[in-house]
Amino acid sequence: MTTLHDPTARGFASDNYSGVHPEVLDAIAAANGGHQVAYGEDDHTARLQQVAARHFGPQAEAWPMFNGTGANVVGLQSMLPRWGAVICATTAHVHADEGGAPEKSGGIKLLPIATPDGRLTPELIAQEAWGWGNEHRAQPLVVHLTQSTELGTVYTPDEVRAISSYAHEKGMRVYMDGARLSNAAAALDQPLRAFTTDAGVDVVSFGATKNGALAAEAIIVLTPGASEGLVYLRKQQMQLASKMRFISTQLLALLDGDLYLRNARHANEMAQRLRAGIETGLADGSLHGVAFTQATQANAVFASLPEGVADRLRERFRFYDWDASKGEVRWVCSFDTTEADVDAFLAALRAELGGTPS
């Protein structure tokens, strides 16, 4: 079969740009023999329940999904009555990057709150945590967190615990968008349950696609009774896989061993290498005009560049503007980003800024 793209091409736009990890491809191939019952009554999905329980606690219940938007919409729907609303950060994927799917497809009212670094706090949540019993206001019933956040920052277990305690005291539940949950685990050097189940999160999505899978996510219910009707909602929202074994086996490839952590740790390390290279360039004068805009805690680096530099760099390396009005860009590293990739990008950045080490 003819290869239609350059397999050596690399960029820093998104961990969605990367391919599929060879161990995940092997798992898909191994799952391909014979017949298995459709729609989740297969051996791979049954095994996934056992593995989810090992990572998140014996009460955990995993629901494989196709993609992150679907997981977020279905997960939140299952936690809300029709009059419920979700408190989230303005940068949250559900608010800024899902094409209105929570509102249009899920019928969910979002109550976004501006944050400096993508992280909510009890004090910030309090801005929208009011109006219960007021028939004129959508009722705030779920607090939505993203881990790691869309700005590359990470909640500590204590920070999640404080939010969960506040939310539960107010009669709200906590949902965590875990599109990059593995990167958070690697950054914190903590087991997955430490900042989910043990920190009071009620429902979490586990993201696999950004971490080496082909197309695989999961909703994991952590608190019994926190989620209702998933068996129906998943079908209604077109997230029920007929050949579910091929979704579940990807999740198993990551979670049944330590591949989820190895991949995420490597991506995080490459982001740290990129940041360290820029810091060195700032110190020696070879990278004039670059400024970091966020802490680098997971696998993304946020920085501002002088006018025109980003467009010229994109002729060689794909990446996105985050806030073009401020010259802010985002660079994301993946499980397959190499040291050579990072060093080549740093060299290109140095050349564009016209600096050479003194």
The CA distance from 358 to 355, in Å, is 9
Domain boundaries, the chain: 22-257, 260-352
Position 334 confidence tier, pLDDT thresholds 50, 70, 90: very high
**How far is the first Cα of the chain from the last one, in angstroms, to the nearest whole number?**
50
Residue 2's pLDDT band, with cuts at 50, 70 and 90, is: confident
Q: Phi then psi for 245, rounded to 5 degrees?
A: -55, -30
pLDDT of 289 > 70? The answer is yes
Residue range 22-257, CATH number: 3.40.640.10
Q: Tell me the pLDDT band of 223, cut-offs 50, 70 and 90.
A: very high
At 32-89, the pLDDT tens digits run 999 999 999 999 999 999 999 999 999 999 999 999 999 999 999 999 999 999 999 9
**Looking at 187-196, 336-345, 348-357, which range is the least confident one?**
348-357
Query: What tens digit of pLDDT does each residue of 290-299 get?
Result: 999 999 999 9
State percent of the chain over pLDDT 90.
96
Q: pLDDT value at position 355?
A: 59
Write out 190-243 in H/E/C secondary structure.
Answer: CCHHHHCHHHCCCEEEEECHHHCCCCCEEEEECCCCCCCCHHHHHHHCCCCCCC
- Domain 260-352 homologous superfamily, CATH: Aspartate Aminotransferase, domain 1 (3.90.1150.10)
Task: Answer whether residue 172 shows pLDDT above 70.
Answer: yes
Q: How far apart, in whole angstroms, are the C-alpha atoms of residue 301 and residue 153?
A: 10
Please count the other Cβ atoms lying within 10 Å of the Cβ belonging to residue 127.
12
User: Per-residue pLDDT averaged across 265-274, rounded?
Assistant: 98
In this prediction the pTM is 0.97
Equal fold, 22-257 vs 260-352:
no
Residue 256, judged by CB atoms within 10 A of its CB (0-12, 13-18, 19+), counts as middle
Does the pLDDT at position 357 exceed 60? Answer: no
pLDDT band at 300 (very low <50, low <70, confident <90, very high): very high
User: How does the average pLDDT of the chain come out, rounded?
Assistant: 96
pLDDT of residue 122: 98
Q: Looking at residue 1, what is its pLDDT?
A: 76
Residue with tokens 């391919």: 19
Q: Is residue 164's pLDDT more than 50?
A: yes
pLDDT at position 358, please?
A: 39
